[in-house]
Structure 1
């Protein structure tokens, strides 16, 4: 690559957004690295289990409110022709998210009533629901689509830093679980409020009451991505859900803590997918082959790094668990091995699913692949969970992710074949 091309790359929006996202991701990674060892010891496995199970259930409502807008909305904004179109998209999606937020709150109350959750669990969920309110206001997809991640990064870094400081100041014993829930959620709530102000005052994007047709269109366009996002949440949280209903709070706490290790590491790679998604989407407008070649080049750089990290983590799993969580958790260090491999496949599946299948406009095929993964997850969690307990849940996550990988590869081959046949027909017509 020539010097001039390197200069163009580093001055591009893609590189600038990548830099801002990595600053954000560094903070998002450092925050749990700083607080998790402290919280797991202060709250203890049982209380941390209550928090983890509550957070896990709230995560399902979060997925409903975020719908599929993070991908469908950002792609629309990336190719929008003018400011008026951006404002129409923003207003329709903002309205949709607020409606979904109100609806899911009442749904949560109904579920708590049906399941007869205990008082501590119920209060924890009510407090943590402020996360969902914050996420309904926080329009990250808009900043992502406009390829201007500076503001959202500054907002979240400020909110996250404040949250970490307050956690160390006020969470001192197991009975402080409600305080921890509030301080954990405040990052999202504060971030959402500030982002709305910035969208109006800095970006100059105005909110207009949308038509029912526009809201319906955005919900329809995001449907397939929503179903796969919901399944993604199930992929990451179903094990904790099963444990929450069938095992002890301590078991939930132990599994949740160890699972956080690969989750935190995978967070470091998330900005890559967020940055390249609108960039890659434009190449698919030219041709499917151009888009897929771009994805291949990027993945050939990233995936070897992920593999090396996974090998190091597996070889040092016992030491890592003991260092982060202490003696109460170290006996279960073997859980980290299948969960690390689960992380590896998860990062690979982002390239296969989001950057190839979804970015090329094949949300339906993406949803079909996830259906196979979802079915396998349910079956293996139930079967292996009853046989091997905590360890069965970890292995089930890995097996289901592998099924998803194979399903995505199959869909990509089908899409490639379709485009090759279409190109052949075009050549014949030209002759």
Structure 2
């Protein structure tokens, strides 16, 4: 089946996708291997309660990262990929997108400051949230969408690997006991800011891009192009990021810490190496779709089948040895983490079996359908999540994740199957 998928694309296109996939896979291998080392250390050094507090703060600032990302990670990536040889157009898109992202970052800072100092639960640990906000500023600056659109994934890999190594070295140097917990968000923010600034430098230095304040029409065009995807991202995070946030609100920091470990492990299984290939394939598949819609559909179908087959082999094995992986990370057989991890693996299967169908909605410009699916599931899933977490604690979070992802899989499968090319 892999050979069939490869035959559907030109050899040069296939090699470009594979080079980008390799770069992103190396990045993911390193950036996920480092947390495998760091998380057990942090969990032991600062304890489950402080680990849970930091995870809760990260989930909170994630909402502002969604706001600053808007929908540019998809809309701007696609636009850059389609105007690859038009330098003036690339400069215009870059200037408009960065202006919008910086404006949204300032808005995020105002919103976060207001919430933190107005709500007692946040105000009591305000330094954690303030120190965590640097990740929002850093992600705003980092031009991930630009590197993806130009299909120069090596820049993403280089900078993030450098950041991961730096983060690891600083954590081991400055975090040794529970009272050092504030250093964790501070170091994380510093590293995000450093890689963001270096990313901007590479755009100007290696691509010759120049920044100019955009015309209102160009600014408005970018905001409009990203709107449906932004709404979708808000909806998606309403039932993903909100899980940890909701557990933190309805339970305590210790339970949040145990569950967040399980979710981080499940995210590793979910994204490596699937996310790398998805990011590498998206700009190229967009170009193929512009030339031959049927060919792009067939490539998507073959790649999705390969992903399903791999998941059917690997996920059951990980499920069986879940307690072993949790023991390595946490240093003990914590039932809450093991049980949550195993349940989340079921949700991971639905996500993996649906990843390229979901992406294809964006490739073929069906952003309104993409948005509608996730908005409806968020409207159903968010109250379901709160109800299940309130009733069953961390078990409810994992159960709601399974139900939501199964629902998205079903709706997306039926929708894409109806497409005629």
Short-chain TM bin: over 0.9
Superposed CA RMSD? 2.0
Match of 1:185 in 2: 189
Equivalent-residue separation in structure 1 for 2:352 and 2:41 (angstroms): 28
Of 148, 154, 178, the match for 2:152: 148
Q: Give the 3-state SS of the residue equivalent to 1:147 in structure 2.
A: coil
Which structure ranks higher in relative contact order (CA pairs < 8 Å, sequence separation ≥ 6)? 2
Structure 1-normalised TM-score? 0.92
Kept in 1: contact 2:56–2:245 (CA 8 A): yes
Equivalent-residue separation in structure 2 for 1:114 and 1:341 (angstroms): 39
Match of 2:409 in 1: 405
Distance change in 2, residues 1:395/1:227 (3 Å): same
Residue 287 of structure 1: CA displacement?
4.2
1:306-385 paired onto structure 2 within 5 Å: 306-327=311-332, 329-354=334-359, 356-385=360-389
1:163-178 paired onto structure 2 within 5 Å: 163-178=167-182
Residue 10 of structure 1: CA displacement?
8.5
1:9-408 paired onto structure 2 within 5 Å: 12-80=15-83, 81-119=85-123, 121-268=125-272, 269-327=274-332, 329-354=334-359, 356-408=360-412
Equivalent-residue separation in structure 2 for 1:19 and 1:262 (angstroms): 22
Deviation per CA, 1:37-84: give whole Å up to 9, x if none: 111111111000110000000001001101111111111011115111
Deviation per CA, 1:387-421: give whole Å up to 9, x if none: 2111111100110111111221233244x1xx46x
Residue 7 of structure 1: CA displacement?
10
Distance change in 2, residues 1:143/1:118 (3 Å): closer
Deviation per CA, 1:93-118: give whole Å up to 9, x if none: 01000000000110111222332234
Residue 319 of structure 1: CA displacement?
2.2
Distance change in 2, residues 1:336/1:353 (3 Å): same
Q: Give the 3-state SS of the residue equivalent to 1:209 in structure 2.
A: coil
Equivalent-residue separation in structure 2 for 1:57 and 1:38 (angstroms): 23
Residue 359 of structure 1: CA displacement?
0.8
Kept in 2: contact 1:54–1:121 (CA 8 A): no
Kept in 2: contact 1:338–1:395 (CA 8 A): yes
Q: Give the 3-state SS of the residue equivalent to 2:152 in structure 1.
A: coil
Deviation per CA, 1:147-168: give whole Å up to 9, x if none: 1112222111111101101111
Please identify the structure whose Cα radius of gyration is greater: 1
Distance change in 2, residues 1:383/1:11 (3 Å): closer
Equivalent-residue separation in structure 1 for 2:10 and 2:74 (angstroms): 29
Kept in 2: contact 1:9–1:15 (CA 8 A): no
Q: Give the 3-state SS of the residue equivalent to 1:103 in structure 2.
A: helix
Kept in 1: contact 2:31–2:164 (CA 8 A): yes
The answer for unaligned runs of 5 or more in structure 1 is: 421-431
Kept in 2: contact 1:156–1:187 (CA 8 A): no
Residue 345 of structure 1: CA displacement?
1.6
Structure 2-normalised TM-score? 0.94
Kept in 1: contact 2:91–2:210 (CA 8 A): yes
Kept in 1: contact 2:304–2:354 (CA 8 A): no
Deviation per CA, 1:246-298: give whole Å up to 9, x if none: 11111111110111111112231211110000111122223432221111111
Equivalent-residue separation in structure 1 for 2:334 and 2:55 (angstroms): 15
Q: Give the 3-state SS of the residue equivalent to 2:208 in structure 1.
A: coil
The answer for unaligned runs of 5 or more in structure 2 is: none
Equivalent-residue separation in structure 2 for 1:22 and 1:333 (angstroms): 27
